[in-house]
Amino acid sequence: MVQTVIRDGIPMGRFSRFGFSLPGAAGSLLCFLGATSIGIGCYFAVWYAMCPSYYRTMAFAPSGTDWIVFPLFFGLGGLLWVIGSLHLKSSTDQAIAQAMRFLQEGGKARKAK
């Protein structure tokens, strides 16, 4: 793998020019999508709770396939959030291990290959 030397001679990978790796970017995106999905689920939950009082009739209460909204948005949002958190944790562990290896080698800057 091609390595470049960035900031204080610490070797960084191809996707981590600024200390942010590809798994970290994917993890952040998944966390964002998970939080967005949970937010949409909260919106629909409040809307379905308020809909009968807004229209002053129970005819607009959620029924049938409307109930699929809750597990779809809350469940999918929770899964995306957890998977994104795992990606962020693994990229952080990789960055710490890389920095520890660099320090154990004496902290000498390597040339880019």
Query: Residue 16 above 60 pLDDT?
Result: no
| Confidence tier at 81 by pLDDT (50, 70, 90) | very high
Query: Residue 108 above 90 pLDDT?
Result: no
**Per-residue pLDDT, 2:** 45
Tokens of 113: 């290959």
| Confidence tier at 110 by pLDDT (50, 70, 90) | low
Q: How far apart are CA 46 and CA 51, in angstroms?
A: 8
- Count how many Cα atoms sit within 13 Å of the Cα of residue 5 in the half-sphere of its side chain: 10
Express each pLDDT in 39-52 by its tens digit.
Answer: 999 999 999 989 98
Mean pLDDT for all residues in the chain: 80
Query: Residue 104 above 60 pLDDT?
Result: yes
**Per-residue pLDDT, 25:** 83
**Per-residue pLDDT, 107:** 66
Share of residues in the chain with pLDDT > 90 (%): 33
**Per-residue pLDDT, 1:** 44
Query: Residue 57 burial (CB < 10 Å; 0-12/13-18/19+)?
Result: exposed
Specify the residue for token string 């390597």.
110
